Structure 1
Amino acid sequence: MRKLLVTSFMTLDGVVQAPGGPDEDRDGGFTHGGWVVPHFDDQLGTVMTELVRRAGALLLGRRTYDIFAESWPLAPADDPIGSRLNALPKYVASRSLGAVPWQHSELLGGDAVAAVRELKQGDGGEIQVHGSAGLVQTLLRHDLVDALHLAVFPVLVGTGKRLFGDGTVPAGLRLTATATTGTGVVLTTYERAGRVEYGAMGPETGNW
């Protein structure tokens, strides 16, 4: 069974909208696009390169697919991330796209949730989701995410689409990796760890 890993760039207040540029996603009048750029250094680039090399396939929502399909095919042949993304199988969850011309792309028509479940049952290595905030909400709601790779940037923007919205399924998580870049980006990887455990604080329980 294949694991599904979500990779998200997020602000300290949980916003994942338009990390790479002002025109990526202006939904809701969002004016803070591009908040990743001042903090993206060589160290983070190395982390992302190693992460993408692990992927067996990409799973993308419509907006992220459009952004990637417009830019990554133009990457030089020796670009480690671009060459890998261009070569990988890409599955696109969208009801509005009629065609997905980026090489090795396949449109998941009909019931995308059922299609993702079927993909996870097959072979081929890790399925990675990058960006795709709306799709991530659906995957979380249907308990399809096995691990989260989060890059938390030292910035607050106040408004915007957040990674964990209404409908997120309660779940326990286990921290499996952590690092900090020179620009203050905190990198963490969490894997699923069963159900949420609860307790109580106070003198009567011995937990202070």
Structure 2
Amino acid sequence: MAELIVTTFLSLDGVYQGPGGVEEDTSGGFDLGGWVTPFYEDDMAAYATEWLSKAGALLIGRRTYDIFVQYWPKATDPDNAIGVAMNDLPKYVASRTLSSSDWSGVSFVNGDVVEFVRELKARPGGEIQVHGSGDLLQTLIAHDLVDEYRLWFYPVVLGKGRKLFPEGVTPKSFEHIETRQTSTGANVLVLRPAGKPRHDTFQLVTE
């Protein structure tokens, strides 16, 4: 069975909205986009290349597709491993309105995305990787379809914007798999869901 792996950029207050550009995602009046770009460096590219090499397919939402399709089909340098992966991998796009694309390898998921992902995970193959796609992620998280999170935390607080785990999300605990750090201060936490949180109270130790 294939595993579904989530990669997303987060501020310290948990916001994922508009990391890559000022105009990337201004929904809800968000005007703080482009907050990841100043932290880009070689470590970030190396980690992304390493993890993309494990992918068997990409699963992305409509808004992320609209961003990716403007750039990646033009990234045809054979020495750009990220561009090669993005263009060569099968890409499943959750969209109720689109049905065709000039970008190679794209298929659109117009029906029940939850059932589609369950069927996709049942097939053999490499990782099914989700990049960005915050709205789609909310659905995947709500139905416990995520097997691993690669969360890139950046040293910035935004104070507004859409959050990966908003208020009202089902409580979850996680198993820590790995931590990585980039030279510009991003910390990458690799986590796997581990059921419901446990609760206890600190006890005062007395002699």
TM-score, normalised by the number of residues in structure 2: 0.94
Runs (4+) off by over 4 Å: none
Cα offset, 1:167, TM superposition: 5.1
Q: Which residue of 2 aligns with 1:157?
A: 158
- Which runs of no fewer than 5 residues in structure 2 stay unpaired? none
Aligned residue type for 1:66: D
Cα offset, 1:192, TM superposition: 1.9
CA contact (8 A) 1:141 1:167 kept: no
Q: Which residue of 1 aligns with 2:178?
A: 177
For 1:2 and 1:90, locate their aligned partners in 2 and report how far apart those are by CA, in whole Å.
15
**Identical aligned pairs, as a percentage?**
48
CA contact (8 A) 2:94 2:109 kept: yes
- Which runs of no fewer than 5 residues in structure 1 stay unpaired? none
TM-score, normalised by the number of residues in structure 1: 0.93
Matches within 5 A, 1:48-67: 48-67=48-67
User: CA deviation digits over 1:50-70, x for unaligned, max 9?
Assistant: 111111110000010111111
Aligned residue type for 1:56: G
For 2:102 and 2:189, locate their aligned partners in 1 and report how far apart those are by CA, in whole Å.
33
Aligned residue type for 1:15: V
For 1:2 and 1:98, locate their aligned partners in 2 and report how far apart those are by CA, in whole Å.
25
Q: Which residue of 2 aligns with 1:109?
A: 110
For 1:96 and 1:26, locate their aligned partners in 2 and report how far apart those are by CA, in whole Å.
21
CA contact (8 A) 2:97 2:110 kept: no
Cα offset, 1:172, TM superposition: 2.2
Aligned residue type for 1:63: R
For 1:123 and 1:108, locate their aligned partners in 2 and report how far apart those are by CA, in whole Å.
19
For 1:28 and 1:188, locate their aligned partners in 2 and report how far apart those are by CA, in whole Å.
28
CA RMSD of aligned residues (A): 1.3
Q: Which residue of 2 aligns with 1:42?
A: 42
Q: Which residue of 1 aligns with 2:83?
A: 82
For 1:66 and 1:23, locate their aligned partners in 2 and report how far apart those are by CA, in whole Å.
13
Partner SS for 2:78: coil
CA contact (8 A) 2:17 2:162 kept: yes
Cα offset, 1:77, TM superposition: 2.6
Q: Which residue of 1 aligns with 2:189?
A: 188
User: CA deviation digits over 1:77-133, x for unaligned, max 9?
Assistant: 321100011000111111122323311111112111110111011111110000000
For 2:195 and 2:146, locate their aligned partners in 1 and report how far apart those are by CA, in whole Å.
12
Partner SS for 1:6: strand
